[in-house]
């Protein structure tokens, strides 16, 4: 049976995570990639180029402009019948819509999948990643959200057929405003390099040091919850159990203690670098490379050193 | 309005859990338990709506073993009026929890159900959305701000790109994120008073809902250890180390 995969996209562009969940879903069956939204023809064309996609389905409707859970769940419910698996990224839209859909279909979903062992066997983290559960599902249909950063992206180079599906959906919630964080830096959830800062920066102005270092490295910026709560960084930069879960090749954590809820977000990082004045901080202990020092001295020197 | 708040008793968020050597689960014996942090934000939001004159009754419900009384008492001490414990031992999956909550909603007829966005034990992030699906109510998940506007709510949600504000008509489901508010610590007189507030204990069987798990947990394993690495002596060494990482990445 085929797998229905919900494509992630934003501002008229396919998100990098889509190629990753396609690669994961391909192990479960032929992939039908659903692009839902308003004015998404270009996104659909991009989606058709991902290797492994058998066909692209496009649901284009004003009711899907904001991808509210009500509309997305209704759309997926209408399309669900022939599919053995329905898959979305473990991100805002999927997290919101998949459990709602699951209740409507009376299926117990498996969310935040980090490994696929077979059509009905999956790993998912629990307790902020301090334990991994291996689940076997006996459900007739499998509803999954997949942690994109746990899978390598599918290649590009395909020309899958695109067909329209006519959704009979209405947006229930009224969309009032989007508060977007404008940044020219790479997208945090799929970035190859991430520089993250903690509350110890002490002000939003000084947190800009993190951004300076990130710019020098072409990296995305992350933050701890404490830094976000203090107003030094926007909420979508938060990394951790309740923020973004990332798996960059290189993660540089500055003035971050390494609370277990923060570590939950970086367990998949290939290399961890930590800078902290306290050598006993938990992040310093697990870091591959650690430097003890005052961040206000270290970071400007580091930026200068990297530019040399 | 009348508000129903769902709360769960979980291993305290500050405890670093250990996986049992036989892979049957995590060690929960002799481990500190408390109310799921996000549920505290949900209770606080309900109490604040009450204080602002928007809510006249706040009912708290928990599903779990007898000891979950603790977390209901905490919520009552924070300012909720009445508690319901649906006593259930063993693993109750999110879908069954949502069905039990629907049964409570059918009885209590609240205008708003507040829940935490996820429980920090199973990290599922499912129940609120499921309850909304079962009831066919609008949902506003991951809320960091709730305003009462006209006959409905304006809720600001934390999403991947930042924040989004939506309007929902009542009845509705809202799930709380940590930045929604700072939960109060109940003062001693409130804790004493909580003990005299009504708390109904009802066996799960009374609801006639099939709560048998549908997913089999084959095993629970610890995550891969990170052994730690080397400590550098100077910023120059750090710059050199990062440069060599970068060239390795380019080579990949
Ligand atoms: C339910 C729940 C969910 C949570 N989810 C998340 C989450 O998703 N993400 C998250 O990050 N947190 C989360 N938290 C919060 C988490 O527990 C920690 O409080 C938070 O990560 C700490 O942030 P921090 O490292 O910036 O601050 P602190 O823990 O205060 O650490 C500051 C560090 O900076 C160092 N430092 C201070 N000054 C300097 C200096 N001049 N130079 C160098 N180093 C210095 C200190 O030595 C210390 O190690 C959550 C908490 C709860 C209860």
Report the CATH number that the domain containing residue A295 is assigned in CATH: 3.40.50.1220
User: What does the alpha-carbon distance between residue A43 and residue A73 come to, in Å, rounded to a whole number?
Assistant: 20
**Tokens 């459900």 — which residue?**
A139
| Phi/psi at B152 (5° precision) | -130, -160
Could you tell me what percent of chain B has a pLDDT over 90?
Answer: 94
Taking an 8 Å cut-off on Cβ atoms, the answer to whether B232 and A291 are in contact is: yes
Cβ–Cβ below 8 Å for A112 and B123 = yes
Average pLDDT over residues B199-224: 97
Best mutation target among A242, A269, A276, A279 (most B Cβ atoms within 10 Å) is A242
Going from the Cα of A219 to the center of ligand 1, the distance in angstroms, rounded, reads 21
Shared domain for A154 and A240, answered yes or no, is no
* Shared domain check, A202 and A141: no
A226 class by beta-carbon count within 10 Å (0-12 exposed, 13-18 middle, 19+ buried): middle
Question: Which of residues A164, A197, A212 is at a domain's end?
Answer: A164
With tokens 């839902």, the residue in question is A36
A37 and A160 belong to one structural domain: yes
The pLDDT assigned to A195 comes to 98
CA distances from B225 to A245, A286, B124, B228 (A): 18, 9, 23, 9
Local structure of residue B42 (DSSP, 8 states)? H
Residue B236 backbone phi and psi in degrees, to 5:
-60, -45
CB contact under 8 A, B242 and A128: no
Of A95, A131, A174, nearest to B166 by CB-CB distance is A174
Task: Please report, for residues A57, A78, A140, A258, the alpha-carbon distance to residue A81 in angstroms, rounded to integers and kept in the order given.
Answer: 15, 7, 11, 45
Of A70, A91, A64, A73, nearest in space to A149 by CA: A91
Asked whether the beta carbons of residue B138 and residue A172 sit closer than 8 angstroms, the reply is yes
Identify whether residues A203 and A123 lie together within a single domain. no
Integer-rounded Cα radius of gyration of chain A: 20
Q: Is residue A153 part of a domain?
A: yes
CA of A224 to the centre of ligand 1 (A): 6
CATH number at residue A157: 3.40.50.620
Domain tally, chain A: 2
Q: Which domain holds residue A303?
A: 188-307
Burial readout A237-272 (b: 16 or more C-beta within 10 A, e: otherwise): bbbbbbbbbbbbbbbbbbbbbbbbbbbbbbbbbebb
Residue A245 resides in a domain: yes
* B147-180 pLDDT tens trace: 999 999 999 999 999 999 999 999 999 999 999 9
Asked whether the predicted pLDDT for residue B239 surpasses 90, the reply is yes
B59-105 pLDDT per residue, tens:
999 999 999 999 999 999 999 999 999 999 999 999 999 999 999 99
Residue A300 domain flag? yes
Domain-embedded: residue A180: no
Dist CA A175 CA A30 (whole Å): 34
Residue pLDDT, tens place only, A98-119: 999 999 999 999 999 999 999 9
For a substitution probing ligand 1, which of A206, A261, A294 has the most ligand atoms within 8 Å of its CB?
Answer: A261
What ipTM describes this predicted complex? 0.97
- A37 and A101 inside one domain: yes
In this structure, what token pair is assigned to residue A203? 């002000």
Q: Which 8-state DSSP code applies to residue B19?
A: B
CATH homologous superfamily of B2-207: HUPs (3.40.50.620)
Give the integer Cα–Cα distance in Å for A257 and B115.
Answer: 29
Mean pLDDT of B175-191: 95
Give the Cα-Cα-Cα angle A51, A54, A55 (nearest 5 degrees). Answer: 110
Give the residue among A225, A148, A224 at the shortest CA–CA distance from A187: A148
Average pLDDT of the residues in B4-33 = 96
Residue A285 confidence (pLDDT): 96
Ligand 1: residue whose CA is nearest its atom 22: A226
pLDDT value of position B250: 86
Q: Answer whether residue B38 shows pLDDT above 90.
A: yes
Mean pLDDT within B29-53: 97
Judged by DSSP in three states, B82 sits in: strand
Q: Which two tokens stand for residue A80?
A: 């669900």
Residue-level pLDDT at B144: 98
pLDDT at B220: 98
pLDDT at A308: 87
Same domain? For A76 and A123 the reply is: yes
Q: Is the domain of A122 the same as that of A206? A: no
Q: Indicate the pairing of strand B230-232 with strand A289-292.
A: parallel
**Side-chain half-sphere exposure of A292, counting CA atoms within 13 A:** 9
Determine the 3-state secondary structure of A4 from DSSP.
strand
pLDDT higher than threshold 90 for residue B119: yes
Q: Any alpha helices (H) in chain A, and if so which ranges?
A: 16-25, 41-47, 69-79, 92-105, 204-217, 225-229, 260-263, 282-286, 295-307
Give me the count of residues in chain A: 308
A171 found inside a domain: no
CA of A262 to the centre of ligand 1 (A): 7
CA of A275 to the centre of ligand 1 (A): 13
Q: Do A130 and A252 have their domain in common?
A: no
User: CA A285 to CA A171: how far, in whole Å?
Assistant: 48
Q: Which two tokens stand for residue A59?
A: 């649901």
The candidate with the shortest Cα–Cα distance to A79, out of A64, A62, A59, A100, is A59
CA-closest candidate to residue A146, choices A117, A119, A120, A123? A123
**Residue B171 preceded by cis peptide, ω within 30:** yes
Domain ranges across chain B: 2-207
A80 lies in the same domain as A215: no
Both A82 and A206 in one domain: the answer is no
Of residues B130, B161, B231, nearest to A100 (C-beta): B130
- Residues of chain A predicted below pLDDT 70: none
Q: How far is A193 from chain B (nearest CA, A)?
A: 9
Q: A120 in a domain, yes or no?
A: yes
In 10 A of CB A18, how many CB atoms? 25
pLDDT of res. B101: 98
The pLDDT of residue B242 is above 90: yes
The answer to whether residue B141 neighbours chain A at the CB level (below 8 Å) is: yes
On average, the pLDDT of chain B sits at 96
Coil vs helix vs strand at A153: coil
Protein residues with CB under 6 Å of any ligand 1 atom: A 198-200, 224-227, 238-243, 255-257, 259, 261-262, 265, 276-278, 281, 294-296; B 13, 37, 120, 178
Residue A32 sits in the same domain as residue A136: yes
Q: Do A115 and A205 fall into the same domain? A: no
């Amino acid at each position: 049976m085929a797998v229905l995969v919900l494509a992630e996209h934003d501002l008229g562009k396919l998100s990098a995570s889509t190629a990753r969940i396609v690669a994961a879903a391909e192990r479960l069956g032929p992939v039908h990639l659903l692009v839902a939204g308003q004015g998404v023809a270009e996104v659909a064309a991009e989606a058709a180029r991902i290797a492994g996609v058998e066909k692209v389905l496009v649901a284009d409707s004003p009711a899907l402009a904001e991808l509210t859970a009500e509309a997305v769940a209704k759309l997926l419910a209408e399309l669900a019948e022939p599919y053995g698996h329905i898959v979305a990224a473990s991100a805002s839209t999927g997290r919101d819509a998949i459990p709602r859909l699951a209740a409507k279909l009376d299926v117990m979903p498996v969310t935040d999948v980090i490994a696929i062992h077979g059509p009905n066997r999956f790993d998912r983290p629990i307790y902020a990643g301090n334990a991994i559960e291996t689940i076997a599902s006996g459900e007739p249909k499998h509803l999954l959200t997949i942690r994109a950063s746990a899978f390598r992206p599918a290649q590009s180079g395909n020309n899958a057929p695109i067909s329209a599906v006519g959704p009979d959906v209405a947006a229930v919630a009224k969309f009032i405003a989007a508060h977007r964080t404008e940044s020219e830096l790479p997208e945090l959830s799929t970035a190859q390099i991430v520089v993250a800062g903690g509350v110890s920066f002490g002000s939003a102005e000084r947190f800009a040091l993190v951004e300076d270092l990130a710019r020098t490295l072409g990296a995305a910026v992350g933050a701890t919850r404490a830094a976000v709560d203090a107003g030094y960084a926007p909420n979508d930069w938060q990394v951790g159990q309740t923020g973004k879960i990332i798996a960059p090749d290189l993660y540089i954590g500055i003035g971050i203690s390494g609370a277990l809820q923060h570590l939950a977000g970086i367990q998949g990082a290939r290399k961890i670098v930590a800078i902290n004045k306290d050598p006993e901080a938990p992040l310093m202990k697990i870091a591959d490379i650690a430097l003890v020092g005052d961040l206000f001295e270290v970071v400007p020197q580091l930026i200068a050193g990297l530019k040399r | 309005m009348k508000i129903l708040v769902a709360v769960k008793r979980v291993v305290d968020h500050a405890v670093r859990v250990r996986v049992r050597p036989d892979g049957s689960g995590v060690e929960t014996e002799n481990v500190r338990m408390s109310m799921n942090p996000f549920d505290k934000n949900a209770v606080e939001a309900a109490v604040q709506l009450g204080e602002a004159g928007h809510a006249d009754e706040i009912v708290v419900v928990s599903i779990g073993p007898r000891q979950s009384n603790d977390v209901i008492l905490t919520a009552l001490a924070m300012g909720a009026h009445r508690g319901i414990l649906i006593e259930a031992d063993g693993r109750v999956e999110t879908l069954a929890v949502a069905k039990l909550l629907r049964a409570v909603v059918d009885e209590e007829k609240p205008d708003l159900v507040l829940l935490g966005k996820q429980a920090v034990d199973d990290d599922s992030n499912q129940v609120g959305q499921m309850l909304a699906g079962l009831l066919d109510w609008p949902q506003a998940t991951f809320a960091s701000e709730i305003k009462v506007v006209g006959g409905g709510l304006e809720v600001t949600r934390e999403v991947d790109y930042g924040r989004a504000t939506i309007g929902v008509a009542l009845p509705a489901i809202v799930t709380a994120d940590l930045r929604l508010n700072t939960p109060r610590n109940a003062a001693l007189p409130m804790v004493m008073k909580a003990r005299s507030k009504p708390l109904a204990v009802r066996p799960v069987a009374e609801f006639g809902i099939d709560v048998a798990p549908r997913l089999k947990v084959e095993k629970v394993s610890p995550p891969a250890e990170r052994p730690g690495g080397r400590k550098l002596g100077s910023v120059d060494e750090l710059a050199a180390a990062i440069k060599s990482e970068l060239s390795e990445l380019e080579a990949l």
